[in-house]
Structure 1
Amino acid sequence: MNHAHTFGELITELKKRQSKDLCCVIEKEESHYGKILFEVEGLSSYLQSLGIQKGDRVAIWVPNRVEWVIALLATGQIGAILVPINCRFKASEAKYVLKHSESKVLITQSTFLTNQYEEMVMSWHSGGHDHFTSEELPNLKHLIWIGETKPKQAISWEEAVACNLGNHEVVCKPDDPVLIQYTSGTTSFPKGALLTHYGILRNAIDVGVRMHIKPKDKVFCAGPFFHIGGVTMQVILSLLYNVPFYSLSHFTPRKALDMVKKYKCTTYSGIDSLFLLVMELEEFQREDFASVRTGWTTGTLETVKLIREKMGIKDILLVFGLSEASPNVAICDISDPEEKKLASCGRAHPSCEIAIIDPLTNEFLPPGNKGEIVTKGYNVMSEYFKNEIETEKTFFQSWLRTGDLGSLDEDGFLYFHGRIKEIIRVGGENFSPEEVEGILYEHPLIEQVALLGIPNENYGEIPVAVIRQKAKASFELEELQTYLKGRIAGYKIPKKLVIVNEFPMTESGKIKKNQLKEQLFSIKI
């Protein structure tokens, strides 16, 4: 299908829609195209009146809400670059992103959950001025505040979007940057992936093609907008295909279930935990998701089977992607053979390529061999913003190195085998923890699990299962070993079991295995 190549072109397309057409529902607030486009024009005008030019950075630090979408469209229209800040970040993390990105404007609100944004932002203010100034953040000059209260150094959202000075037309090229996606690092401050207009827009179109998005679809956006998966594969996808999307300020299983039932959403997507948490609700019934026909997720073959059987989503699709690729690298098509949809992450999109290389020699490997997944194409980032060293390390020739272990079959379908750094090595045998975790997730007493390789004098490493049990469950190592015996090779069966009440998690919903390992090193095996 023909589609916009820049955000300016996207807005031109959106203006052809009826002003009363529904764009989205977030929490209980319905937003229609007429109001959204009015505020896009107002915010664009206001940003230009501040002197924001093509290439300047505008940061946004809020949870899922319609103002987030308006900010993305407005900054893209004038050639500026949006910098999403994780809404759960604390002061030092947010300050790092603002400083590194050299953002000139910050759009935020006073509070979210336990985060006191106003308190944190004003702690950076040098004081004594009616406008914001900061010695720590010398580039940050302007605050736009959402909500009923604001500091005197900020302008309200309502004032900003009411600006009617007109917009100076800015010509953007498809390969111009439009967003800096800071990756969710677990051991160091995040890197900023510089993503382009065309990379995000084309990726959304290609994902929609694979999901067979139709005019009557209703997209449920389970994940946060500050992650590129939520932006590209749900919000932008919905705008391009002219279908409404539905979301929550932050995900809770019960509210997600209620929204899907109330609005009869037809797609439900997100990382595997966003499915598992809904399924674990006592009140959940398979019929609750009767309207959902497809979606995408991460995880294993066992996760896909569970979603199909318990939620009834027959055409659930595994995906592979990363922030640096806008984000989707591979996804199945609904019309692909069942065996491919069950186990593989699909194929590369048109104009994109996937290959497998030996991570040590960089030799390209034939189908069936495991190695590092590399990719190239329109969706790959331009660079890590202001980080030449990491950019050079991440690219091999023109290929983006993912750090993930995978294989391709003869038909070009990709199979994900885990993070290279997480491979467990037991007495000369190597295996991915994902294989065992997927089987353990089928156990009725296990709510969450991580398999780790812990140093051992005799074998190099031995597998240890870290488990969060379901309520009132009692689980022993022998039961776990019996459950796995005969289903996997003996060296893959955990030799120790650790029960935890909660896992350390990244903001993208993944278990911080490095942190778990640090905690477990003190355990004598």
Structure 2
Amino acid sequence: MNVQTIADLLQAHDDAAPAIGAPGRAWLDFGGLRDQARTVAEALHDAGIGRGDRVAIVLPNGPEMAAAFVTVAQAAVTAPLNPAYREEEFAFYLEDLKARAIVLQEGYDGPAAAAARRFGLIVLRLSADPAGPAGRFSLRAEGGGGECDTSAPGPEDVALILHTSGTTSRPKIVPLLQSNVAASAVHIRDSLALKPADRCLNVMPLFHIHGLLAAVTASLSAGASIWCAPGFDALKFFGWMSEARPSWYTAVPTMHQAILSRAGRNRDVIEAVPLRFLRSSSASLPAQVMTALVETFDAPLIEAYGMTEAAHQMCCNPLPRGAQKPGSVGVAAGPEVRIAHEVENRLTDGTGEVVISGPNVTPGYEGNPEANAKSFFEAEGRRWFRTGDQGAFDADGYLHLTGRLKEIINRGGEKVSPLEVDGVLMDHPAIAQCVTFALPHPKLGEEVAAAVVLKEGAEASEREIREFAAGRIADFKVPRKVVILDEIPKGATGKLQRIGLAEKLGLSEPA
């Protein structure tokens, strides 16, 4: 079957096979999920919302959020938003998206509802019966009606709209076509060899591409099941694992580290529920953490490399029998991946900017010709997207990232890779977590700094950590400042953010 849309992904599976689950809930099977898609389309059409209309989704993590994404996307355009936003943030995104409607829980009257009222959006109230199957819900429209395009979206229609993180500038709008989403789901499914018997325990936020594509859509495309936790909680993870009985889970490195910290007292669950593999993506996983996870779960850790503009996955470490290389994001896993000159629009060898081309790549940022001119170029008969990451391939075709180009620390003309310094510091026996970042400096421009979290019961001073680093890397790479914290600030999706960390931590310029 030629899979080109989200609807295509869900068609070929057994009606009675479990699709979506959640704590304490009955399973929604594939037949029920297809029925849900039909009732959602009818509700949208009755409210005057159809193909091409943009529907913001603001729901807590859970089975209804997963089901809302895959069903609304079969009739209109989805735009999941972080439920933790404030009213002004919702107002910005709803206006920027040109949203026509918004999905909110029945009874919710928080900041998203207030922002929706500002723009007169059609409000679609979602209600679910806790005694019914996970992911089964009904929609009730407040306002709306009238004519709309009731035809099913095709491969070239937009399925999903997300924003870039906007760490250093205004967030950019990333439209992902039905064909982009379908291609990426198939790439992830194939690289993980997902089968109907597989089950993913999802702890990733479902307003983020990692959870939406790698956990939910890739699983469903394989006829496999997805068990949706209500968010990430390291204290509850092993209880969920015991109930869900997954064959795998996917998470960002900070989540993996939190799970590791609880693993010792949950050996019985790990042995009772053997995983086929673990997956990590959305940030670089320290090699030491990868090794510890493999030893703890007695299962391979598959590190993948993804980003929003690629509908998530670009590279992936292969399953055994392929080699797992700690510190590498693996081999190309879907799109073609190459290295380009960082300034000139040409492909090159050695270290440079990672670029991609393939069916999962967005056609371009919406309403932003300047960003498109900087981010896309033509070479060797293909259109390439600049990822903003620096890296190089080894002799076996495995990609090793040096870091984000904008995160590379420029210390008086000497370039320092934060990932390299992270790798050295993580070898310190007392360090559980670290993030290296740029500290403003009046003469050098930038100086190297690091924030670290110590292992439970461990002790180390700033001086000891600096001396440890000094014995392993060149002097100019040794952090001038080491901040020891109980917790490192994270972004909304659990990722550690280097840019702006000095300001967040209130660090003044060094003397």
TM-score, length of structure 1 as denominator length? 0.85
Q: Which residue of 1 aligns with 2:60?
A: 63
Q: Is the 8 A contact 1:199 1:326 kept in 2?
A: yes
Q: How far is 1:473 from its partner?
A: 4.6
Unaligned runs of 5+ in 1: 112-116, 126-133, 149-155, 162-166
Distance 1:108 1:438, change over 3 A: farther
Q: Does 2:225 match 1:240? A: no
Q: How far is 1:87 from its partner?
A: 2.0
Which has the higher mean CA deviation after the structures are superposed, 401-410 or 210-219? 210-219
Which of these residues, 426, 440, 458, is aligned with residue 425 of structure 2?
A: 440
Q: Which residue of 1 aligns with 2:111?
A: 120
Q: Which residue of 2 aligns with 1:128?
A: none
Which of these residues, 26, 31, 46, is aligned with residue 27 of structure 2?
A: 31
Q: How far is 1:31 from its partner?
A: 2.7
Q: Is the 8 A contact 1:144 1:157 kept in 2?
A: no
Matches of residues 192-341 of structure 1 in structure 2 within 5 Å? Answer: 192-281=173-262, 284-286=265-267, 288-290=269-271, 291-298=274-281, 299-313=285-299, 315-335=300-320, 337-338=322-323, 340-341=324-325
Secondary structure at 1:260 match in 2: helix
Q: How far is 1:282 from its partner?
A: 7.0
Q: Does 2:99 match 1:103? A: yes
Q: Which amino acid aligns with 1:309?
A: E
Aligned mates of 1:312, 1:487 — CA distance in 2: 30
Q: How far is 1:109 from its partner?
A: 2.2
Q: Does 2:140 match 1:142? A: no
Q: Does 2:481 match 1:496? A: yes
The CA deviation string for residues 314-364 of structure 1, in whole angstroms up to 9 with x for no partner, is x211211100100111112214542x53342122235x2112122123442
The CA deviation string for residues 71-103 of structure 1, in whole angstroms up to 9 with x for no partner, is 22332322x100100122221112212111121
Q: Which residue of 1 aligns with 2:138?
A: 158
Distance 1:394 1:28, change over 3 A: farther
The CA deviation string for residues 437-473 of structure 1, in whole angstroms up to 9 with x for no partner, is 1333344433432212324466554322222334555
Distance 1:422 1:491, change over 3 A: same
Q: How far is 1:122 from its partner?
A: 4.4
Aligned mates of 1:189, 1:228 — CA distance in 2: 19
Q: Which residue of 2 aligns with 1:344?
A: 328
Q: Which amino acid aligns with 1:99?
A: E
The CA deviation string for residues 38-97 of structure 1, in whole angstroms up to 9 with x for no partner, is 33211110101112121111111012222223322332322x100100122221112212
Q: Which residue of 2 aligns with 1:390?
A: 371
Q: Which residue of 1 aligns with 2:50?
A: 53
Q: Is the 8 A contact 2:62 2:231 kept in 1?
A: no
Distance 1:406 1:59, change over 3 A: same
Distance 1:289 1:491, change over 3 A: farther
Which has the higher mean CA deviation after the structures are superposed, 499-508 or 54-63? 499-508
Distance 1:306 1:184, change over 3 A: same
Q: Is the 8 A contact 2:72 2:78 kept in 1?
A: yes
Q: How far is 1:11 from its partner?
A: 4.2
How many residue pairs get aligned? The number is 488
Aligned mates of 1:284, 1:460 — CA distance in 2: 46
Aligned mates of 2:507, 2:52 — CA distance in 1: 46
Distance 1:457 1:83, change over 3 A: closer
Secondary structure at 2:12 match in 1: helix
C-alpha root-mean-square deviation of aligned residues, in Å? 2.8
Distance 1:137 1:444, change over 3 A: farther
Q: Does 2:355 match 1:374? A: yes
Secondary structure at 2:500 match in 1: helix
The CA deviation string for residues 233-270 of structure 1, in whole angstroms up to 9 with x for no partner, is 11111111111112211110122222223333211211
Q: Is the 8 A contact 1:182 1:192 kept in 2?
A: yes
Aligned mates of 1:503, 1:343 — CA distance in 2: 21
Which of these residues, 425, 439, 449, is aligned with residue 434 of structure 2?
A: 449
Aligned mates of 1:357, 1:37 — CA distance in 2: 43
TM-score, length of structure 2 as denominator length? 0.87
Q: Is the 8 A contact 1:302 1:439 kept in 2?
A: no
The CA deviation string for residues 155-200 of structure 1, in whole angstroms up to 9 with x for no partner, is x953549xxxxx9862433232101022222244422210111221
Q: Which residue of 1 aligns with 2:71?
A: 74
Secondary structure at 2:39 match in 1: helix
Q: Is the 8 A contact 1:105 1:144 kept in 2?
A: no
Secondary structure at 2:110 match in 1: helix
Distance 1:481 1:522, change over 3 A: closer
Secondary structure at 1:213 match in 2: coil
Q: How far is 1:287 from its partner?
A: 5.3
Aligned mates of 1:284, 1:234 — CA distance in 2: 26
Percent identical across equivalent pairs?
A: 27
Distance 1:387 1:30, change over 3 A: farther
